[in-house]
Amino acid sequence: MTTTPDAAALAAALPELQQAYAELQAKGLKLDLTRGKPSAQQLDLSNALLTLPGTDVTRDDAGTDVRNYGGLEGLPQLRRIFAELLDVPVEQLLAGGNASLTLMHDTLAYAALFGFPASPKPWAREEKVRWICAVPGYDRHFAICEALGFEMITVPMTEDGPDAAAIAELVADDPTIKGVWVVPAYSNPDGAVITEEVARALVSMPTAAPDFRIIWDNAYALHHLTDDEVTTPNAIGLAAEAGNPDRVVMVASTSKITFAGAGVSFWASSPANVAWFTKHLAIATIGPDKVNQLRHALFFGSADGVREHMRKHREILAPKFEAVVEILEARLGKYDVASWTAPRGGYFVSLDVVPGTASRVVQLAKEAGIALTPAGATYPHGRDPENRNIRLAPSMPPLTEVREAMDGVATCVLLAAAEAGSA
């Protein structure tokens, strides 16, 4: 971990670092590590979708005309493939539109407007709704809470998932706490993988709120970067075993499998929750885009087809992540000014710099033409109390640019540390 002495020690090198930074600025870079976007090379892997489902292919394997209205639950042919991959019964899995973000938002919007079956009242009518966020975490999760007026309570993210003991203590007596976000596999940004022990704790802990929900955002379930292809616990099954069948709502998507903006999404939960969700969905939609769902089913063919496809992503992505870690190690390893993750999957490297300097690092990088995710983005309301965490997203630029950008980021981290040390 960071200690100020080493930032102080760096203070002596301030003039050299300022010179290095001036040289960095002189390069006139224009690089972007802000968001977890797939690169064009990754998107190309799915270009077969651009001419699918194919000339006069209008029906799925059950004979349904995919062009017309209907089929609220999504195309069975596609749901079967992802039911296997996500380890849920197909009848508990819905296939939706192009974003699991929309499914998460709508789940909580329906809770606000109508409540879950077990809710004493619609959440929008509660005096206060609180929601647990493990930090660092995903900014779009926080944005949904903020928009819906949920007060966010933070708990630490650990290597094994959210701090289950801290959560259990919070929810035991406080009925205003209605839920928690969990990114079970390769969490955003820490790359943590939840253990079965943590999962069991979360699905079985007593909660004061009768309608407590875990939004199990399985965004990176299949997004391995190493041979250690982790599997995450089947939270929906574990919750049912624990006598809390309705506690878990899982979402996933192909946004980082096929096309980021034109994929398909998935929503899974208990049969009672599926009935609840589809009841409200039926008011808002005429059914998902089944042509796009068929396009995906034909493209993949099977669950193994998806797994095989993900290995092609890994071939493109893994070198970029290795480069990030390698450069951080080479440039910063000898100082005690930063720590970082070496993720086994997902889309992010989480970088902790000298406390108080994250926003300065991001500013320095910006002024040198390297766009980083805003400091604080991994905390509710964009406020990192220690101003320390930076989320690095190396997927989008080509490998040479990732290297160039990371070398620049390292310079900025050192300069900010030296500035802090000499202040």
Q: Which residue has the tokens 């983005």?
A: 377
Segment (H or E) for 402? helix 399-422
- Span of 21-29, 62-70, 224-232, 368-376 interacting with a copy of itself by CB under 8 A: 62-70
Q: Does 400 bind a copy of itself (CB under 8 A)?
A: no
- Span of 49-57, 217-225, 233-241, 269-277 interacting with a copy of itself by CB under 8 A: 49-57
| Residue 63 CB burial class (10 angstroms; 0-12, 13-18, ≥19) | exposed
- Span of 56-64, 130-138, 168-176, 189-197 interacting with a copy of itself by CB under 8 A: 56-64
Figure out which of the listed residues 106, 211, 217, 336 binds a copy of itself, where binding follows CB under 8 A.
106
What is the 8-class DSSP label of residue 6? H
Figure out which of the listed residues 43, 90, 118, 318 binds a copy of itself, where binding follows CB under 8 A.
43
- Span of 60-68, 129-137, 192-200, 381-389 interacting with a copy of itself by CB under 8 A: 60-68
**249-268 positions binding a copy of itself, by CB under 8 A:** 255, 259-262
Q: 40 to each of 81, 174, 316, how far by Cα in Å?
A: 25, 47, 11
Three-state secondary structure call for residue 69: coil
Number of residues in contact with a copy of itself under rule CB under 8 A: 59
Q: How far apart are CA 331 and CA 335, in angstroms?
A: 8
Check the CA dihedral 100-104-110-115 and report its sign: positive
**366-395 positions binding a copy of itself, by CB under 8 A:** none
Residues in CB range of 97: below 8 A, 6 or more apart: 264, 265, 288, 289
Q: Does 56 bind a copy of itself (CB under 8 A)?
A: yes
Q: Does 99 bind a copy of itself (CB under 8 A)?
A: yes
CB closer to a copy of itself out of 98 and 244: 98
Figure out which of the listed residues 10, 33, 38, 300 binds a copy of itself, where binding follows CB under 8 A.
38
Q: Does 124 bind a copy of itself (CB under 8 A)?
A: yes
CB closer to a copy of itself out of 335 and 347: 347
Shortest distance (Å) from residue 287 CB to a copy of itself: 5
Figure out which of the listed residues 80, 280, 312, 331 binds a copy of itself, where binding follows CB under 8 A.
280
133: closest CA among 66, 94, 181, 91? Answer: 181
- Span of 78-86, 142-150, 306-314, 343-351 interacting with a copy of itself by CB under 8 A: 142-150
How many other C-beta atoms lie within 10 A of the C-beta of residue 117?
13
CB closer to a copy of itself out of 54 and 156: 54
Q: How far apart are CA 400 and CA 402, in angstroms?
A: 5
Number of C-alpha atoms within 13 angstroms, CB side, residue 347? 25
Q: Does 397 bind a copy of itself (CB under 8 A)?
A: no
Q: How far apart are CA 42 and CA 257, in angstroms?
A: 9
**282-321 positions binding a copy of itself, by CB under 8 A:** 283-292
Beta strand 248-253 with 265-268: parallel, antiparallel or unpaired?
antiparallel
CB closer to a copy of itself out of 55 and 400: 55
Q: 266 to each of 103, 107, 403, how far by Cα in Å?
A: 8, 12, 35
38 phi/psi in degrees, rounded to 5: -65, 150
Binding site for a copy of itself (CB under 8 A): 35, 37-38, 40, 43, 46-47, 49-58, 65-71, 97-99, 101-102, 105-106, 109, 112-114, 122, 124-125, 140, 143-144, 147-148, 255, 259-262, 280, 283-292
